[in-house]
């Protein structure tokens, strides 16, 4: 049994999908959370000076998507064969495309410009990517509610995490996307996920 240690900030952010994978799988790990002021002392310990980092039996792995995919494969939440795993990866990449569209509005310092970018994101960018995600769910989901092959995979967990953030900022943003709403509801109903969501630290992002 390998030992797992996940290091990140005290946020959901890019690490939460991995925490959701551990929770869905019922697997133990050390959930290290650094506050902003603690982080500088640990930066040099990390391969790329960034987090999240997963340590597996003492070997460090950076890059949040590589970490999540590894854990998903370890715990059979990645898709049942090569091609299903590829379909899961395609959904995941489409969710990350959505995040890339979101980040500029978060990084903008000027308040007026930030509001402009945020409005454009929720009005134009987000719907386009959500439409793409529904397309993939209907293409690969075998008629069910999960993105790929009628089973929970980390694509569903990744979507749940960022859907929660977006709905927190704009309550109506999923209203035109019933398939995605149903997908999110199915994920949050899974007993281990429901338990985890109830008890985890509450953070804004």
Distances (CA, A) of 190 to 26, 105, 142: 12, 33, 19
- Binding string, residues 7-26; x marks residues near other proteins by CB under 8 A: --------------------
Pair 108, 117: CB distance under 8 Å: yes
Interacting residue with other proteins among 38, 135, 176, 203 (CB under 8 A): 135
**48 lines the binding site for other proteins (CB under 8 A):** yes
Interacting residue with other proteins among 136, 152, 157, 174 (CB under 8 A): 136
Q: Report residue 165 CA to chain centroid gap.
A: 10
CB of 188 to other proteins, least distance (A): 26
Residues in the chain: 205
Cβ-based neighbours of 192, under 8 Å, separated by 6 or more: 23, 24, 25, 26
Q: What b/e readout covers 193-203, taking b as 16+ CB neighbours within 10 angstroms?
A: beebeeeeeee
**76 lines the binding site for other proteins (CB under 8 A):** no
**101 lines the binding site for other proteins (CB under 8 A):** no
CB of 80 to other proteins, least distance (A): 13
Task: Give bridge partners of residue 8 from the DSSP assignment.
Answer: 33
The binding site for other proteins (CB under 8 A) comprises: 47-48, 56, 59-63, 65-67, 69-70, 73-74, 82-83, 85-87, 89-90, 92-94, 100, 132, 135-136, 139
């Amino acid at each position: 049994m390998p030992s797992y240690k996940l290091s990140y900030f005290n946020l959901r952010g890019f690490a939460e999908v991995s925490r959701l994978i551990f929770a869905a799988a019922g697997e133990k790990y050390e959930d290290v959370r650094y506050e902003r002021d603690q982080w500088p002392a640990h930066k040099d310990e990390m391969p790329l000076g960034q987090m999240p980092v997963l340590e597996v039996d003492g070997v460090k792995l950076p890059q949040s998507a590589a970490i999540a995919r590894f854990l998903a494969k370890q715990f059979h939440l990645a898709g049942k064969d090569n091609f299903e795993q590829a379909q899961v990866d395609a959904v995941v990449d489409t969710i990350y495309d959505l995040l890339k569209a979101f980040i500029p509005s978060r990084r903008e310092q000027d308040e007026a410009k930030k509001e402009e970018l945020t409005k454009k994101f929720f009005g134009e960018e987000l719907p386009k990517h959500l439409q793409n995600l529904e397309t993939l769910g209907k293409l690969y989901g075998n008629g069910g509610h999960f993105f790929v092959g009628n089973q929970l995979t980390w694509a569903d967990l990744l979507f749940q995490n960022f859907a929660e953030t977006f709905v927190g900022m704009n309550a109506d943003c999923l209203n035109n996307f019933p398939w995605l709403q149903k997908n999110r509801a199915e994920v949050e109903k899974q007993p281990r996920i429901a338990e985890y969501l109830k008890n985890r630290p509450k953070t804004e992002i």
